[in-house]
Amino acid sequence: MINSLKNILIVLLVVSTAFFSIQLNKEKNKTNDLLLEKELIEKELKNIIQFKDNEVKVVYRYKDKIVTEIKYLPPEGKLKITIDKNDNQDVNITNKGWTFGPNVGVSYSNKMSFMLGARVFYWNRYGGGLGLNNNGLSLYIDRRIDDVFKFLPNTSMGIFLGEKELGLKLSAFL
């Protein structure tokens, strides 16, 4: 009884921390968007491109409106900015493909164990690969969580499927 209550409290703590972290990030982003729009108007610019962490923010004029686009740049991806003769800028991001991303972490399936892995493909924040823990080889899918938990950069959380087990994994990329 005490063990299950402890697990419930841990899950509630993690969920509430994630919720408040997301809300705080939304408020910071709104403030930053307003400052960029103000700069675009005051300096009479066509557009502004801003890089922050793994995000590319493009603010531009479209007819009578100011439009903000936020694009995710995976660490495995590539960014290409082209400028034509009329000073129009185009932002192209490679956000899916094959990769090799070694990682180390912990896995949980009835008990905690050490896990080595390698991400072999990615699509935005999501990816998949192979992992090795005490019970052998497994396949996994995961998601980078540094957008929610800023204090855990270059980290992912996911699920894995081994020969005899299904579980959770938390890993950091090397």
Instruction: Give the model confidence (pLDDT) of 46-81 as tens digits.
Output: 777 888 778 888 888 788 888 888 888 888 888 888
Last residue of a domain, one of 68, 94, 120: 94
Instruction: Note whether 172 and 115 are within 8 A (CB).
Output: no
Instruction: Mention every residue, 6+ apart, whose C-beta is less than 8 A from residue 66.
Output: 37, 40, 41, 59, 60
Predicted TM-score of the model (pTM): 0.70
Instruction: Note whether 158 and 142 are within 8 A (CB).
Output: yes
Q: Would you say the C-alpha torsion 133, 139, 143, 146 has a positive or negative sign?
A: positive
Instruction: Note whether 42 and 59 are within 8 A (CB).
Output: no
Number of domains the chain contains: 2
Residue 159 lies in domain: 97-173
For residues 115 and 86, membership in a common domain is answered with no
